[in-house]
A and B are shown apart, each in its own frame.
Chain A
Amino acid sequence: MDRLSLSDAAYAALGAGRPDAATLAHLRRAALSRHLLLLREIVRAAPDEAGPWYARLCAEERTAPEQTRARLADPLFGAWAAHRLRALRHGGPRPAQTTEPHKTDGRHAARAPKDARRLSVEHDGLTLRVRLDDTDPRRALLGLVPADRLTAAETAHWQTCLTAAWRLLVERHRPDARILAAVLELVVPVRPDPSARGISATSADAYGAVAMSAPADGTALAVGLLHEAQHSVLNAVTALFDLVGAPAVPDYSPWRDDPRPPSGLLHGAYAYLAVTRFWRAEAAATGDPLAAFEFARWREAVAGTADRLRAGGALTAAGARFVDALRAEVGTWLDEPVEPRVARLAGHANADHRLRWRLRNRAVDPGDAAALAAAWRRGARPPRVESRLVPSPRRALENSARLDLMHHSLRGDTGPVTVHRPGGRASAGDAALLGGDHGTALSAYQKGIVAEPADDAAWTGLALVADRLDRLEVVVAGYRALGARPDPLEFASWISG
């Protein structure tokens, strides 16, 4: 029995996000092999329960081999099989409709062309065919809450967006369009997340499936599908090779507001490698400052994350080879020119995210904060205080009124700023920061903090313009313990020595 293997050149191309057709076919064989292995283990784990339906499945394969194989290769079959085997081995929910693939598939997979919606788009010789599934109960296994059955208008919106997305991808991102056509099989519409403008997900057990809320337009769908296809490809790679070996220590992720383990950082870097490439080509084709901003922002984030993964020591040999290829790919883009104002804002956006992440996820013990306050009052040197990581109980999406303002500015909008965030507002400091008037911005942030020491946005703004990006959470905790409200910049300078 042959092991699935890849040449080093094919493996490196995968790491660079540029797999060829043969490699993608290899990943599809790997996914089917995994489904079959799951099926075998289910039958072995529960022979009394599985025996009868497995016998029927074998009989079906003899009479209709291609159709049966297609059902077994379906991403939702993989999701179901993994779910079922986990439940058999480790306990857990056992919904009646998912205990027997024969019935489940009979209702939902075998009849998919009738029950689900088949979308097909063709442009300039390339075709994308996907199933838009709003009926199969197994679709909930992808991890997000499925949308209700689509209305005719909602289905038409998906078709319109997919047509526009495919035209854009084929015309300006043809290599990525080819990859997407080879990976994507299924899109499951999901309910929107009130804290995000668009949400999407993949499951490690369902290669080629994407769960996604209704896209805003073709561009959003195009970049969202590229992003999720990367996750799906990486899921297939990690089913073949162990990429991370050391215990998972959560760390900073430029894409999330919560700490992420090395495997999550790798997923983010790999998904955003495709996103970066998308915006690079968009910026070159259109000259759009917003596209250039996204390109400038994500190339730094991908490269930085790859560097931290390599330095962190958690990667296996296979993981190191993969990340090296990823890093080499993004490395070729780092020196490409970006208009200075756009580059400055992209740098601010990344630094702002890191500062907010620290305030959110790193805590200072109250006793240490009180010791800092006491030393300040005495006029003594500050004691050395360290913060500690406080793992977030759940995932957190990026949420920044300042980022909204940057997007607004880059779009060239001249009307009043509308910030779609709870409690979000564009401060005078932020307006000055975006305009490059750091003196006015600094003054505004100082006044804002003195007026309200709990204003995290003012603190991160102050750190940005004063270029004091180190241990902001310690500065904020000490200041809030003071009771008095001195100049926050003076206090920050005192702590950093």
Chain B
Amino acid sequence: MPEDAEPEWRSAMVDLSGMSLAALTDLTEDDDSALAQAVRRLADDLARPGEPIAGFNSAL
């Protein structure tokens, strides 16, 4: 749990939803920046072997 007075869950992902594509590739990242952390987290996600969540028998 974060130690803020008002509990909040801060993710590793940055909000890029309002950013233009032209600006997207101009972004620079410092080692400790939120963007750099998001990139590292994404790399970790992709490196993990994944599988679709399958197998629901929906009919009785």
A binding-site residues for B, Cβ under 8 Å: 1-8, 11, 29-30, 32-34, 36-41, 43-44, 54, 57-58, 61, 68, 82, 85-86, 89-90, 142-144, 196-205, 211-212, 215-217, 220-221, 223-224, 227-228, 231, 239-242, 255-256, 264, 267, 271, 290, 294, 317-318, 321, 395, 397-398, 407
Contacts and interface: CB of A to CB of B under 8 A. Distances in A.
A30 B20 contact: no
Q: Which 3 A-B pairs have the closest CB atoms?
A: A143-B52, A224-B58, A8-B7
Nearest to A215: B58
A4 B41 CA distance: 14
20 contacts: A1-B27, A1-B35, A6-B11, A7-B9, A33-B14, A36-B16, A38-B42, A39-B21, A40-B24, A89-B47, A144-B54, A198-B56, A200-B54, A202-B53, A203-B50, A216-B58, A231-B53, A239-B13, A398-B55, A398-B57
Contacts of B17: 29, 32-33, 36
Given A32-B17, A40-B24, A211 B58 contact: no
Given A1-B15, A197-B58, A37 B1 contact: no
B56 A227 contact: yes
B31 interface: no
Interface string B1-14: 10000111111111
Contacts of A58: 20-22
B8 A5 contact: yes
In the complex, which of the residues B1, B35, B50 has the most CB atoms of chain A within 10 Å of its own CB atom? Answer: B50
A61 B14 contact: no
B25 A40 contact: yes
Given A197-B57, A216-B59, 7 more contacts: A1-B35, A2-B34, A3-B11, A36-B21, A37-B16, A201-B52, A227-B58
Contact of A1 (B14, B20, B50): B14
Interface string B28-45: 000001110011001101
A43 B12 CA distance: 21
B25 to A, nearest CB: 6
Interface of B: 1, 6-17, 19-22, 24-25, 27, 33-35, 38-39, 42-43, 45-47, 50-60
Contacts of B25: 40, 43-44, 54
A129 B17 CA distance: 22
B16 A220 contact: no
Contact of A290 (B33, B42, B58, B60): B60
B20 A61 contact: yes
B8 A8 contact: yes
A397 B55 CA distance: 6
Given A1-B35, A7-B6, A223-B58, A40 B46 contact: no
B11 A30 contact: yes
A3 B14 contact: yes
Contacts of A43: 25
A321 B21 CA distance: 36
Contacts of A264: 53
A407 B60 CA distance: 7
A201 B54 CA distance: 4
A7 to B, nearest CB: 6
Contact of B13 (A4, A143, A223, A395): A4
Given A3-B34, A37-B38, A407-B60, A143 B54 contact: yes
Contacts of B59: 197-198, 215-217, 220
Contacts of B60: 220, 290, 294, 407
B53 A6 contact: no
B1 A198 contact: no
Contacts of A231: 53
B12 to A, nearest CB: 7
Contacts of B11: 3-6, 30, 240-241
A196 B24 contact: no
Contacts of A196: 55, 57
Given A4-B15, A199-B54, A256-B55, A61 B21 contact: yes
B21 to A, nearest CB: 5
B39 to A, nearest CB: 7
A228 B56 CA distance: 9
Contacts of B19: 36
A41 B15 contact: no
Contacts of B53: 201-202, 228, 231, 264, 267, 271
Given A5-B8, A200-B54, A321-B1, A33 B45 contact: no
Contacts of A199: 54-57
Nearest to A205: B50
A11 B45 contact: no
Contacts of B21: 36, 39, 54, 57-58, 61, 68
A29 B33 CA distance: 20
Contacts of A30: 11, 13, 15
B6 to A, nearest CB: 7
